[in-house]
Each structure stands twice: as structure tokens, then as C-alpha cells.
Structure 1
Amino acid sequence: MIAKDLRSGVEQLGNMIAEASSIVPFTGAGISTECGIPDFRSPGGLWTRNRPIPFDEFVASQDARDESWRRRFAMEPTFAAAKPGRGHRALASLYRAGKVPGIITQNIDNLHQASGFKATDVIELHGNTTYARCIGCSKDYELSWVKRQFDQSGSAPDCADCGDPVKTATISFGQAMPEDAMLRATELTKTCDLFLAIGSSLVVWPAAGFPMMAKNSGARLVIINKEPTDQDDIADLVIRHDIGDTLGPFVGN
């Protein structure tokens, strides 16, 4: 059912939240756009300006690694200035109220943690761009360390321990999905009674399979996204309005 207007959508959503005992939010880039972080696919999005660098290209080419880090450093002021928006704060309110056992996100911006979620309760399917990790031994690095090495040598650094390349702790195209995160997301999805897909175009697989999985496991499915998605027809409620306006009434509840 597509909400006829924002007011009725918020009212229906509120009723579903009140009736639910276990709510699992699943968030995409749309929840962070009001925080100043651009999405990837929309006109003017990151991928319309720069072609994504696949994982195998990153591994094989020093030039690709250098370009990848130049792009990340160029985005640092944007990520550093971003604060949780109304959507993040509303979900954190439901988390504090005991309604949300954990959150599944495609986002890499760390804003759910900043809004009040414990890091262990944020399941990051596509990783996190606020720190770096060796692709070999998995040693973590602060971005400041990477920047110092880059500025000193003029090229992307390798791991100080094993010598393999260091990249942001994100999942690139062609890189294996994090097994533990996928398992935890599957468990949460199959055991919730209300699944909220928020700000995701639902076109990136396997992540896009979770709303359908929740529905097939007996949960009610709500999709909140400005644009239509391929899964709208299976949702119990579709709200095509601004995410901050939709979730704002639930901040602090």
C-alpha cells in the first residue's frame, strides 16, 4: 500500500511501530543525504562524477590505489562535518526504547554509531570509510596515518606489518561481502516482525535481498524512499516522502 500523503504514512507507520516487538531497520544512502553526504546513483551523485574503482583494480594497480585515496581525502571534509540527521536520531530513539535489536546498513559513514547505536549493533554490509584496513592481515589504521604516509611518499601506503595494500574499511565492487555481517543480518531479518527499508534503491545485491527475506519470514515490510523501488509491490506500506520528515516525529519517542 502506498501512503496517499505524508501525514497518513506517518500515522500508519506509527501504528506498525507500536504493534511491533522487534523492528529491524535497513538503511541506504538516502537517510544520510540530509546530513550533507551525497548518494551514489542520483544525478550529481558520486558515481556520476567518478567511476568506481573495482577491488581487483585496486589490488593490481598502484595508480588505482593512489586515485582511490585521493578521492577519499577529497571527501574527508564532507564526512567529518556530517552529523546524524532526523532519520538516524529516530532510529536511535527506537533502539534506546528496546524496539530495535540491531540495524543493518549499506552506508559507510558511521552516522548510526554517532546517533547512539553501539558499534556492535550496527551491521555494516559495505564496511566503514572512517578508518582503513590492510587487505591482507586486516590490521586497522587511522585515516590520519594513511594521510601522513601518502603526503610523505606521494603514493598510497602498504601495511607496516605484512606489506599488503591498505584501503578504506569499505567493500568495493568485486570484493567479498563480510561473512559475519551477512550472517548477523540474516538472523535479524528472519526473526523481526517489522522490517523498515529506508533510503535504499534496493538494486545492490545481495544486500537488496533482505527486505524480501523479511517479508517471506513473516515480517511486515515498510519501504521509505523518495523514488519507487522494485520491491514496492510486496511492501505492506510504501512512503515516498522525505526521510527526515517521515521519521522526524519519532525522534525522542
Structure 2
Amino acid sequence: MTLVAILSGAGLSTDSGIPDYRGPNGLWRRDPEAEKLVTYSYYMADPQIRKRAWLMRRDSPTWRAQPNAAHGAVAELERRSGIAVRVITQNVDGLHQLAGMPERKVLELHGTSRSVVCTQCHARSAMAEALERVAAGEEDPLCRVCGGILKSATVMFGQRLDPTVLAEAMSIAKASEVFIAVGTSLQVQPAASLAGIAAEHGARLLIVNAEPTPYDALADELIREPIGTALPQLLRRLG
């Protein structure tokens, strides 16, 4: 059975109304201060940063977002016989799963914004529940188990990726026959290195992204068309 690995980045979700980070209209370019809200050291040290971060989470477009045609095409490919599909995503929006990808076939490298975790006792709970507390007037809700600082269950700047998740992603990259990097600048390590690992192990590397990436020279095919139409066409061709 052919193994197709898909590494997805923020560009995959822009058609769903979730802005990317580093593109021409990206979040970090529009508001460099916003980066502090997702930087672990700032977040842990400053209650004001945490209050702003909770407001950012409350107002996130993720809660209104629906999977787009690209998410749907990935889920559709997974349902076809003869093709094993694994998604390795840098996104934290959960849209691959909402589109129908089985949870066990989606590796969330940077965690998920749909849960919160205590930085002290590591208890996890639903983001929706924490946001209800914010709506009720708690500016910086604390863990109900131990009173520790809560954060979204995402990997912030300054935090390591989960080594188990990363090891599994590397195994998938090495085993894949086709590796598609879509909507990612391939600038954030170690996620970006997966494209190189796949190519080194003989995978056909396809890059679908509006901007050039550091791995373009290794690619068997570069696609600069809009992801919402280009990825479904590419996956139909693969199927």
C-alpha cells in the first residue's frame, strides 16, 4: 500500500478564515507584539500577557472556521483503497479531523488549540470550558485541580515539541513514498526538516506553497497555485 505523508502548515487553513503567521498579511508581520502572547517565557512571567492571550483565544477565528476544499481532499484521499495517508500538521486548529481524517492518522506537531493544559500538574481540559470562564469574568483562569497557570495545549515559542510525536513524524517521513508539503514556509525546525528526511529516503517530494521554501531544490514538483484548487487537483491525480 502506497504511503502518502502530508505536512500541512498555516497556508492550508487560510481559506477557512484563519490567517497565517509569516505570509505578507501574516499575524507576526501585522502585530510583532502578538508573538509575545505565544512565547512561553513572556507568558509565564507576565499576568498582563496572559490576560491578552486569553482575549486572543476568545476572539480566535478558529471557532468559526470550517474545513475547506483542501482539508476535504486530504480526507477523501484517506478513504480511497490502496493509499495509506498520514497527516503531519503544524496547525493547531483541528480542521483535518473536522474534515473527516481519523484522529489516529493526524499528528499535531504543535499541539491543539482546542484543549488547555496546566503548566504545573499537566491536567488537560477543553478550551471551550476555559473560554466560558473568561466570558464569565475570569481574566486569567487558573487550573481547577492545583491552581497552576493554564495555557492552550499548543507548543509555544521556547517550548520543545513532544519527542514522541516528533519521532513518529520522522518515522512516517522516512517510510513515505510520496511526501507533500502544503501551505508551509518550511522555515520552522524541526518540522521543516521532515521534507528533507523524506527526500533523502527516496520519497517523491511535492511542495505546494505560494512562496519559495528552503527545500525547493529537493522537490520533484513545485506548485505555486492557490492551495484550495491546487491540492484537490494534485490528490485526485495521485489517487
1:118 is matched with which residue? 102
Kept after mapping to 1: 8 A contact 2:208/2:231: no
Q: How many residues align?
A: 232
2:65 maps to a residue whose letter is: A
- Of 59, 63, 72, the residue aligned with 2:44 is 59
Kept after mapping to 1: 8 A contact 2:113/2:127: no
Distance 1:51 1:35 in 2: 21
2:24 maps to a residue whose letter is: P
Kept after mapping to 1: 8 A contact 2:114/2:128: no
2:24 is matched with which residue? 43
2:79 maps to a residue whose letter is: R
Counterpart check, 1:157 vs 2:154: no
Counterpart check, 1:170 vs 2:151: no
Deviation at residue 191 of structure 1 after TM alignment: 0.6
Deviation at residue 162 of structure 1 after TM alignment: 2.0
Matches within 5 A, 1:1-253: 21-47=2-28, 48-49=30-31, 50-53=33-36, 54-75=39-60, 78-98=61-81, 99-249=83-233, 250=235
More divergent stretch after superposition (52-61 vs 142-151): 142-151
- Higher normalized contact order (CA 8 Å, seq sep 6+, divided by chain length): 1
Deviation at residue 70 of structure 1 after TM alignment: 1.1
Deviation at residue 153 of structure 1 after TM alignment: 4.7
Distance 1:44 1:184 in 2: 32
Deviation at residue 233 of structure 1 after TM alignment: 0.7
Unaligned residue ranges in structure 1 (runs of 5+): 1-19
SS of 1:52's equivalent in the other structure is: helix
Distance 2:40 2:80 in 1: 39
SS of 2:35's equivalent in the other structure is: coil
- Superposed CA deviations along residues 78-121 of structure 1, whole A, max 9, x for unmatched, are 21221111111111111111523421000011000011111121
1:226 maps to a residue whose letter is: A
SS of 1:123's equivalent in the other structure is: strand
Pair 1:101–1:74, CA change in 2 (3 A):
same
Deviation at residue 152 of structure 1 after TM alignment: 4.2
- Superposed CA deviations along residues 49-79 of structure 1, whole A, max 9, x for unmatched, are 243121011112211211111111121xx21
2:122 maps to a residue whose letter is: S
Give aligned-pair identity as a percent.
Answer: 35
SS of 1:201's equivalent in the other structure is: coil
Deviation at residue 165 of structure 1 after TM alignment: 1.0
Kept after mapping to 2: 8 A contact 1:26/1:104: yes
Kept after mapping to 1: 8 A contact 2:15/2:68: yes
Kept after mapping to 2: 8 A contact 1:26/1:105: yes
After superposition, the CA RMSD in angstroms is: 1.8
Kept after mapping to 2: 8 A contact 1:146/1:156: no
- Superposed CA deviations along residues 199-236 of structure 1, whole A, max 9, x for unmatched, are 10011111110000000111110000111111111101
SS of 1:102's equivalent in the other structure is: strand
Kept after mapping to 2: 8 A contact 1:226/1:240: yes
TM (norm. structure 2) is 0.91
